[in-house]
């Protein structure tokens, strides 16, 4: 059995089409189709059903996928064993919600890459849950712990969120002494039908029903607040990047959440990914502590 045929099988299984798999591996879709057919002949089973939506794994294909992913992990582990003394190398893609991707991961991953010059890291910042089974990323950070799937999960860090607004907004609007005063103010938050995780429904948690200014992007929300658009819930770790903002009644309204590092179960055999995950966890927690330590004790 040819390892390259297995690579193409894995790419087609994850992308669910020959053309998408071809783009990933930089091979012609017709070549990918021939290699899949050759693999099916070699194993004596049909691995895919071709339909209007693309290539779907058959029952035999799903069983074969488990074995193929174990072989992939073994190959990566063997390659890592040869380069372990040279530091981390190769490409790692990590998916994350955009608040984490914008205000934590850049500096964390920059330090890791400085210590490992042969490492290439890609951050995919998308407002949705990542599908690790389709290898959209090598690992992902999420705000909810998944309860299903062949995954390994560990807590990266707890974090806090508070109401915040710009000094200019607070100076020009009615004072806020407690939650009873919030009804007189305009709010910035998520688009309700685009909240992909219940843990992100911050404003509903504190009883805010109307969100006149909404975006699925944390960065857009933060910039609205910076420019005096209203009140919103902001990660404490993002506030050092927005010195125009101050927390509002933080002693009365405070939310706690956690970031979880999620990996495919088979990747536990890949030493390179294990080492990267350990570095990421350590640097992530240190950066969270550094950023939160910059916040004043009393505000707004």
**Cα distance between the two ends of the chain:** 66
Same topology for domains 3-83 and 87-157+258-293, yes or no? no
pLDDT for residue 254: 95
pLDDT for residue 22: 84
Residue 214 CA, chain-centre distance (Å), reads 21
- Please give the radius of gyration of the chain, using alpha carbons only, rounded to the nearest integer: 23
Query: Residue 228 to residues 51, 103, 168, 254: CA-CA distances in angstroms?
Result: 51, 20, 6, 21
pLDDT for residue 9: 86
- H or E stretch including 125? strand 119-125
Q: What fold characterizes domain 87-157+258-293? A: D-Maltodextrin-Binding Protein; domain 2 (3.40.190)
Domain segments of the chain as ranges: 3-83, 87-157+258-293, 158-255
* Structural contact between residues 99 and 85, judged by C-beta atoms closer than 8 angstroms: no
- Residue whose pair of structure tokens reads 């790419």 in the numeric block: 11
pLDDT in tens, the chain (300 residues): 677 888 888 888 888 888 888 888 888 889 988 989 998 898 999 999 988 878 888 999 888 888 887 777 777 666 655 555 567 889 999 999 999 999 999 999 999 999 999 999 999 987 555 565 566 788 999 999 887 777 889 999 999 999 999 999 999 999 999 999 999 999 999 999 888 888 889 998 888 988 999 999 999 999 999 999 999 999 999 999 999 999 999 999 999 999 999 998 777 667 888 999 999 999 999 999 999 888 876 555
Q: Strand ranges (DSSP E) for 20-86?
A: 48-51, 54-57
**Nearest-angstrom CA–CA distance, 105 and 87:** 20
* Structural contact between residues 230 and 186, judged by C-beta atoms closer than 8 angstroms: yes
pLDDT for residue 214: 96
* DSSP reduced 3-state for 10: helix
List the CATH code of the domain at 158-255.
3.40.190.10
pLDDT for residue 108: 97
pLDDT for residue 267: 76
The 3-class secondary structure across 238-258, one letter per residue, is HHHHCCCEEECCCCCCCEEEE
pLDDT for residue 297: 61
**pTM reported for the whole predicted model:** 0.71
pLDDT for residue 135: 64
Q: Which residues pair with 120 in a beta bridge?
A: 91
Reported CATH class of domain 3-83: mainly alpha
pLDDT for residue 298: 53
């Amino acid at each position: 059995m040819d390892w390259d045929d297995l690579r193409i099988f894995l790419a087609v299984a994850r992308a669910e089409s020959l053309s998408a798999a071809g783009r990933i591996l930089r091979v012609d879709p017709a070549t990918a189709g021939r290699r899949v057919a050759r693999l099916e002949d070699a194993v004596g089973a049909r691995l895919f059903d071709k339909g209007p939506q693309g290539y779907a794994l058959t029952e035999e294909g799903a069983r074969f996928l488990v074995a193929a992913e174990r072989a992939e992990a073994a190959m990566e582990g063997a390659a890592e064993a040869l380069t372990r003394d040279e530091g981390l190398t190769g490409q790692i893609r990590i998916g994350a919600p955009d608040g984490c991707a914008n205000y934590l991961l850049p500096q964390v991953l920059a330090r890791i890459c400085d210590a490992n010059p042969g490492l290439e890291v890609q951050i995919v910042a998308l407002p949705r849950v990542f599908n690790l089974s389709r290898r959209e990323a090598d690992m992902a950070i999420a705000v909810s712990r998944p309860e299903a799937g062949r995954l390994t999960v560990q807590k990266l860090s707890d974090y806090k969120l508070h109401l915040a607004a710009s000094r200019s907004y607070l100076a020009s609007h009615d004072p806020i002494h407690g939650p009873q005063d919030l009804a007189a103010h305009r709010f910035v938050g998520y688009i309700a039908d685009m909240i992909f995780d219940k843990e992100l429904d911050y404003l509903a948690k504190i009883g805010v029903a109307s969100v006149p200014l909404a975006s699925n992007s944390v960065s857009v929300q933060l910039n609205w607040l910076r420019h005096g658009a209203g009140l919103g819930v902001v990660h404490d770790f993002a506030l050092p990047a927005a010195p125009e903002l101050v927390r509002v009644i933080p002693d009365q309204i405070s939310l706690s959440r956690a970031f979880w590092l999620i990996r495919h179960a088979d990747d536990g055999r890949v030493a390179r990914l294990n080492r990267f995950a350990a570095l990421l966890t350590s640097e992530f927690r240190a950066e969270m502590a550094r950023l939160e330590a910059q916040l004043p004790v009393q505000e707004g």
